């Protein structure tokens, strides 16, 4: 496994945080919006990932309404705390009707809930304490606002996180789904380590503004959904059936026509994967973390087998010519909305 540093600054007490380039993404582990979860399998997936060098885990309270964080806490309880990096989030409440309404949803048990994006000071303090309890730790390595909240000034949000850093409950501050202007505003109040944003072969819009800003200002980019939630593994074919509560069924990426077009692209790069003795998914992940400005890739796994496959992506070497070969075919891929 390779590691990259995030959160470096001129402050003498901030040496930076070393994170595994393949970081375990624990959204699916919580089951929410993924058609449920198998807790024991999720715990095993995290533990085997750690055994092969995936020391960083990204989670959030909203993933299973606390379940994902509890699973992460269970998985790491026997690992020395300084050997694992916990990345979690705040700012999505399912138990408080305040802030920006985000969506109607359901818990894993089918109970209807309304979710709000809210990042007021008192809410952040409560969320941090709840996360620490569920995770079974006394500090969070990287604490990230999950989505922008237009009802709360960015300054108020970041000052609350600064206080948590002063108290030793948080080491570094990050954001998720922020654009360059929002990052610029946040930087007036706190030193940001990173921005976690969606990025994959079929979703590259951050290359226009977010990536240039982060490169210029030394901010890490944590790319989530790099396999586009399974689309880029080569395992999804036209007619694929999702579980009843799986959110992917409603996304345009998974229309039969787009599954066909993606398969054509993947067939073109499969010989390279075969030559590397790698899966298509591993080749996609390696390409992703070699893109300018992309620091790490957050990758989910439902079981130990998937987790080991994801980690092994870093065993692949791609030359500049091979990266350009993949990108050339990718640039010919067009999906229908």
Domains and CATH numbers, the chain: 3-234+287-317 (3.20.20.100)
* Cα–Cα nearest to 333, from 259, 277, 230: 259
Catalytic residue among 3, 50, 63, 118: 63
| Alpha-carbon torsion (108, 89, 146, 177), positive or negative | negative
Cβ atoms of residues 30 and 67 within 8 Å: yes
Q: How confident is the model at residue 37 (pLDDT cuts 50, 70, 90)?
A: low
Give the pLDDT confidence score for residue 133 in this predicted structure.
97
pLDDT digits (tens, 9 = 90+) for 104-132: 988 878 889 999 999 999 999 999 999 99
pLDDT in tens, 227-263: 988 889 888 787 777 776 677 777 788 888 888 999 9
Give CA–CA dist 5/59, Å, rounded. 19
The model's confidence at residue 9, banded by pLDDT at 50, 70 and 90, is low
Placement of tokens 């941090």 in the chain: 128
Nearest to 73 by CA among 7, 138, 6: 138
Contact 8, 190 (CB under 8 A): no
Record the pTM.
Answer: 0.91
Give the pLDDT mean for 31-49. 76
Give residue 33's pLDDT: 52
C-alpha distance from residue 109 to each of 41, 65, 134, 183 (Å): 19, 11, 19, 37
Share of the chain above pLDDT 70, in %: 95
The Cα–Cα gap between 183 and 282 comes to 31
- Cα separation, 137 vs 252, whole angstroms: 39
Which range, of 152-166, 233-247, 266-280, averages the lowest pLDDT? Answer: 233-247
47 or 336: which carries more pLDDT confidence? 47
Answer yes or no: 63 catalytic.
Answer: yes
For residue 44, the SS3 value is: helix
Largest CA distance in the chain: 55
């Amino acid at each position: 496994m390779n590691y990259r540093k995030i959160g470096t600054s001129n402050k003498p007490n901030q040496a930076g945080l070393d994170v595994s380039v393949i970081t375990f993404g624990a959204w699916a582990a919580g089951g929410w919006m993924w058609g449920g979860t198998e807790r024991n399998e999720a715990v095993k997936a995290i533990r085997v990932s750690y055994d092969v060098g995936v020391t960083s885990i990204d989670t959030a309270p909203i993933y299973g309404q606390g379940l994902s964080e509890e699973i992460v806490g269970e998985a790491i309880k026997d690992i020395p705390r300084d050997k694992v990096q916990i990345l979690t989030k705040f700012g999505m409440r399912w138990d408080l009707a305040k802030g920006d309404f985000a969506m109607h949803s359901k818990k894993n048990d089918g109970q209807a809930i309304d979710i709000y994006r809210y990042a007021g000071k008192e809410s952040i303090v409560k969320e941090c304490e709840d996360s620490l309890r569920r995770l079974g730790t006394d500090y969070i390595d990287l604490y990230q606002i999950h989505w922008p909240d237009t009802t709360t000034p960015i300054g108020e949000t970041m000052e609350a996180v600064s206080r948590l850093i002063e108290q030793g409950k948080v080491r570094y501050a990050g954001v998720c789904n922020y654009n360059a202007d929002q990052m610029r505003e946040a930087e007036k109040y706190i030193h940001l380590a990173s921005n976690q944003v969606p990025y994959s072969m079929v979703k590259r819009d951050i290359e226009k503004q977010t990536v240039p800003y982060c490169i210029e200002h030394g901010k890490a980019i944590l790319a989530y959904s790099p396999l586009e939630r399974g689309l880029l593994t080569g395992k999804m074919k036209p007619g694929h059936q999702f579980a009843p509560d799986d959110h992917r069924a409603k996304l345009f990426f998974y229309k039969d026509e787009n599954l066909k077009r993606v398969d054509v692209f993947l067939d073109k790069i499969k010989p390279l994967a075969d030559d590397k003795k790698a899966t298509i998914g591993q080749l996609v992940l390696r390409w992703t973390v070699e893109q300018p400005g992309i620091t790490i890739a957050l990758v989910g796994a439902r079981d130990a087998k998937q987790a080991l496959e994801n980690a092994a992506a870093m065993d692949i070497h791609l030359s500049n010519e091979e990266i350009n070969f993949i990108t050339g075919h990718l640039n010919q891929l067009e999906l229908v909305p």
